Amino acid sequence: MSVAKKFLYVNRKAPYGTIYALESLEVVLIGAAFDQNVSLAFLDDGVFQLAKGQDTKGLGVKNFSPTFRALGDYGVTKLYVEKESLAERGLTEDDLMPVTYEDENDGFAEKPSLIFVDRAELARVMRDQDVVLSF
């Protein structure tokens, strides 16, 4: 029996200019099958991935932002968002889409997945991991 390790996926890129954001999400979905303790961090331009109202019809590429809302089904319920990164980009918490999960241990109560942390808190979250994967 192996003990579940703590994995953190660090997202620092905006969603459509490069493939990093989509690749990260795909790896998270695949990795979630392995029953590890997985969480995500969004900082720097990574916070743009969670922006409300994304519509890629005009680009002809997939809008993958709704998939973040499926992460709860995969047991991924902690999405850390850095407050300073939001502020630097003129964003507030209200500019992000709501992401929630259903807590099986609490009668499927719907709870928020986004956890807003400051830079110092996020640094401690990063140091608390067994594995940090960067995108």
Determine the interface stretch with other proteins among 92-100, 109-117, 119-127 (rule: CB under 8 A): 119-127
Is the distance from CB of 7 to CB of 27 less than 8 angstroms?
A: no
Determine the interface stretch with other proteins among 60-68, 92-100, 109-117 (rule: CB under 8 A): 60-68
Decide: is 124 part of the binding site for other proteins (CB under 8 A): yes
Strands 6-11 and 131-134: parallel
User: 109 forms bridges with which residues in the sheet?
Assistant: 103
CA separation for the pair 56, 109 (Å, rounded): 32
Judged by CB, which is closer to other proteins: 66, or 98?
Answer: 66
Among 1, 3, 33, 59, binds other proteins (CB under 8 A): 33
Question: DSSP labels for 61-72?
Answer: S---GGGGGGGG
78: nearest Cα among 104, 131, 118, 42: 42
Decide: is 30 part of the binding site for other proteins (CB under 8 A): yes
Among 16, 37, 64, 95, binds other proteins (CB under 8 A): 64
Decide: is 83 part of the binding site for other proteins (CB under 8 A): no
CA separation for the pair 113, 38 (Å, rounded): 12
The DSSP code for 26 is: H
Least separation, in Å, of the C-beta of 64 and other proteins? 6
Residues making contact with other proteins (CB under 8 A): 10, 12-13, 20, 26, 29-30, 32-33, 43-44, 62-64, 66-67, 69-70, 73-74, 108, 119, 122-124, 126-127, 129-132, 134-135
